[in-house]
Amino acid sequence: MIREEFMEEPTSSSSMNRKSCRERYEQFMEDSWCAHFFLGPNPFMARYVYALIFLVTNLLAWTIRDYGRSALSELQRLRGCYGARYCLGAEGVLRISLGCFLFFFVMFLSTVNTKKVQDWRNSWHSEWWPAKIILWLGFMAIPFFIPSAFIQLYGKVAHFGAGVFLLIQLISVISFITWLNDCCRSEKNEKRCHVQVLVVSILAYMASIMGIILMYVWYAPRPTCSLNILFITLTLALLQLMTFVSMNSKVNAGYLASGLMGLYIVFLCWSAIRSEPHTEICNKKAEAATSADWLAIASFVIGVLVIVMATFSTGVDSKCFQFKKTEAEEEDDVPYGFGFFHFVFAMGAMYFAMLFVGWNGHQKMQKWTIDVGWASAWVRIVNQWLAALVYMWMLVAPLVWKRRHVEAT
C-alpha cells in the first residue's frame, strides 16, 4: 500500500505540472498580441494586414507594367487579352487595379455601418484571412478574362475615383492640421505649448520659403520656363494669402496652421513639377536622372510606400468626415469606421492605377517611374489650389454661418 501511494503521488504531481504548463501556455496565448491576431478579432492588427495586401497589389501592378511582357506571354490563352497585348503595360495596371477595387468594395459593402464589436461583421473584418486571401486572388484573376473595352471604361471611371481619393486625403490632412492648431491653442495647452508652437511655426515658414527658392533655382533656371515660374509664384502667393486669412483679427487662427499648410502646398507644387515629362528642358533634376539609376529607383520605392501610407492613414481617419455630432463613445464601439476604411482603399486602388499610368491610359511609362506626365502635373497643381481654398474656407466658414444665423434671427 505504501508503495502504491508513493507511486500515485508523482503521477498526480506530474499531472498537475502538465496542467499548470498548459494553463500558463493558454494564458500566454490569450495575453499576447499574436493570439489576438490569430485567435480573435483584432481590428487594429487587421488594418495592417489590409495595408500589406494593398502594398502587394501595388507591386504586382508595377511588375506587370514594367516586366510583364516577357513573364506573361501565356496570357494569349485568355479570352480578354488577345495575345497578351491588352493585359500588359497601362491596361495591365488597370486590370490589377480593377481586381483590387472589387475586393475592397465588397469589403466595404459587407462592413459598412458596423458599430459594435459584438457585430458579426467585426469578425469578418478582423478574421477569416484564408477566405479573404482566396477572395483577393479571385478578384485579381477575374479582370484578365474581361474584354479590353470594359477595362478602358474602367480606366475612365478610375479618374473620378482617384479624384475622390485625393479629395478625401486633402480633407484629412487639413483636418489634422486644424485639429493640432486648435489643440495647441486651447486654454489647457496654450501656455505649456507656446514655445513649441512658436518654434514649429518658424521652422515651417523657413522650410516653405527655402523650398520655393530651391524650386526657382532647380525648375525655373531661365525666363522661358514660364509655366514653372507661374506654378511657383502662385505657391508663394497662396502662402501669403493663407497667412493673411489666418492672422485676420476675426479669424485669429495663429501661425502654426498656416505654416504647416504652407509646407503642404509647397510639397504639392514640387510634386507637380517633378511629375512633368522627363524631356522637359526646365526640369534639371529630370535631366540628370536616367531610367535605371539609384535615384529613380529610390524615388519609385518611396512613391509606392507613400501611396500605401497615405491610403492607410486616410482610411483610419473616419471621424473627420462625421458632419453631425454623435453620441459619446462606448467601450464596445468599433475603433474606426470599417466601411469608410475599405471605401478609401477602394478609391486608393483607382488612385494607384492613375499614378502608374500617369493619369493617361494610352501613354507608355518608362521603367521605375511613377506619376509622370502633364496630366499628373496638372492634377497635382489643381489639388494644391483646392487645398488652399478648402483650408481658407474652413477658417472663414464659421464666420459666414454665424452671420447668417444672426441675420435669420
Percentage of residues in the chain having pLDDT higher than 90: 28
Q: Is the pLDDT of residue 347 over 80?
A: yes
At residue 187, the pLDDT reads 74
Q: Is the pLDDT of residue 139 over 90?
A: yes
24 to each of 10, 30, 32, 39, 252, how far by Cα in Å?
Answer: 20, 10, 12, 17, 59
**Residues 6 or more apart from 264 whose CB is under 8 A from it?**
173, 177, 387
At residue 384, the pLDDT reads 94
What number is the average pLDDT over the span 187-196? Answer: 79
At residue 302, the pLDDT reads 72
**Residues 6 or more apart from 58 whose CB is under 8 A from it?**
304, 307, 308, 352
The rounded Cα 47 to chain-centroid distance in angstroms is 12
At residue 20, the pLDDT reads 53
At residue 378, the pLDDT reads 92
Length of the chain: 409
Distance CA 286, CA 267 (A): 17
**What's the mean per-residue pLDDT of the chain?**
78
What number is the average pLDDT over the span 97-116? Answer: 91
User: pLDDT by residue (tens digit) across 48-60?
Assistant: 899 899 999 999 9
At residue 70, the pLDDT reads 59
Q: Which DSSP letter does residue 76 get?
A: G
Q: Is the pLDDT of residue 294 over 80?
A: no
Distance CA 121, CA 119 (A): 5
Measured CA angle at 105 (ends 306, 135), to 5 deg: 95
User: pLDDT by residue (tens digit) across 20-34?
Assistant: 545 554 554 444 444
Q: Which of 66-70, 136-140, 244-248 has the lowest mean pLDDT?
A: 66-70
Cβ atoms of residues 86 and 155 within 8 Å: no
Q: Which of 91-105, 150-164, 270-284 has the lowest mean pLDDT?
A: 270-284
Q: Which of 92-96, 279-283, 320-324, 340-344 has the lowest mean pLDDT?
A: 320-324
Angle separating helix axes 338-356 and 374-408, nearest 10 degrees: 140
At residue 105, the pLDDT reads 95
R_g of the chain computed on alpha carbons: 27
At residue 56, the pLDDT reads 92
Indicate the residue type of 139.
F
User: pLDDT by residue (tens digit) across 366-403?
Assistant: 777 777 888 888 999 999 999 999 999 888 888 878 77
